[in-house]
Amino acid sequence: EVQLLESGGGLVQPGGSLRLSCAASGFTFSSYAMSWVRQAPGKGLEWVSAISGSGGSTYYADSVKGRFTISRDNSKNTLYLQMNSLRAEDTAVYYCAKGIEYSSSRGGGYFDYWGQGTLVTVSS
Amino acid sequence: DIQMTQSPSSLSASVGDRVTITCQASQDISNYLNWYQQKPGKAPKLLIYDASNLETGVPSRFSGSGSGTDFTFTISSLQPEDIATYYCQQYDNLPQGFGPGTKVDIK
Per-residue pLDDT at A104 exceeds 90: no
Interface contact A106-B93, CB threshold 8 A = yes
Tell me the DSSP string of A94-116: EEEEEESSS--TTTTSSEEEE--
Confidence of residue A61 (pLDDT cuts 50, 70, 90): very high
The C-alpha angle with vertex B29 and arms to B25 and B35, in degrees rounded to 5, equals 70
Backbone dihedral region for residue A73 (phi beyond 0: left; psi -120 to 50: alpha; all else: beta): beta
Residue A108: what pLDDT?
A: 84
- Eight-state DSSP code of residue A86: -
Distance of residue B24 Cα from the nearest chain A Cα, in angstroms: 16
Distance of residue B103 Cα from the nearest chain A Cα, in angstroms: 11
Residue A35: what pLDDT?
A: 96
Residue A102: what pLDDT?
A: 85
Q: Which residues of A touch B44 (CB under 8 A)?
A: 37, 45, 95, 111, 114
Q: How far apart are CA B93 and CA B62, in angstroms?
A: 26
Residue A62: what pLDDT?
A: 97
DSSP 3-state percent helix, strand, coil across chain B (nearest 5): 5, 50, 45
Query: A62 pairs with which residues across the strands?
Result: none
Residue A103: what pLDDT?
A: 86
Query: A110 pairs with which residues across the strands?
Result: none
Once rounded to an integer, what is the mean pLDDT over residues A84-94?
A: 98
Q: Which residues of B touch A70 (CB under 8 A)?
A: none
Once rounded to an integer, what is the mean pLDDT over residues B86-97?
A: 95
Per-residue pLDDT at A68 exceeds 90: yes
Residue among B91, B93, B98, B102 with most chain A CBs within 10 A, to mutate: B91
**Mean pLDDT over the full length of chain A:** 96
Which pairing describes strands B10-13 and B102-106: parallel, antiparallel, or unpaired? parallel
**pLDDT digit string (tens) for A7-37?**
999 999 999 999 999 999 999 999 999 999 9
Once rounded to an integer, what is the mean pLDDT over residues A59-65?
A: 97
- Eight-state DSSP code of residue B60: T
The residue in chain B having the minimum alpha-carbon distance to the alpha carbon of residue A108 is: B91
Q: Which residues of B touch A107 (CB under 8 A)?
A: 91, 94-96
Q: Which residues of A touch B96 (CB under 8 A)?
A: 35, 47, 50, 106-107
Q: Which residues of B touch A45 (CB under 8 A)?
A: 36, 38, 44, 87, 89, 98, 101
- Eight-state DSSP code of residue A31: G
Per-residue pLDDT at A5 exceeds 90: yes
Instruction: Name which residue leads in pLDDT, B74 or A103.
Output: B74
Interface contact A44-B92, CB threshold 8 A = no
Question: Per-residue b/e over B65-90, b at no fewer than 16 CB within 10 Å?
Answer: ebeebebbbebeebeeebebbbbbbb
Residue A106: what pLDDT?
A: 85
Interface contact B46-A106, CB threshold 8 A = no
Per-residue pLDDT at A93 exceeds 90: yes
| % of residues, chain B, pLDDT over 90 | 99
Confidence of residue A107 (pLDDT cuts 50, 70, 90): confident
Q: How far apart are CA B19 and CA B104, in angstroms?
A: 9
- What are the CA-CA distances from residue A17 to residues A63, A84, A107, A121 (Å)? 16, 4, 24, 11
**pLDDT digit string (tens) for A30-49?**
999 999 999 999 999 999 99
Once rounded to an integer, what is the mean pLDDT over residues A101-118?
A: 91
Residue A105: what pLDDT?
A: 83
Q: Which helix (H) or strand (E) holds A11?
A: strand A10-12
Cis peptide before B95 (omega within 30 of 0): yes
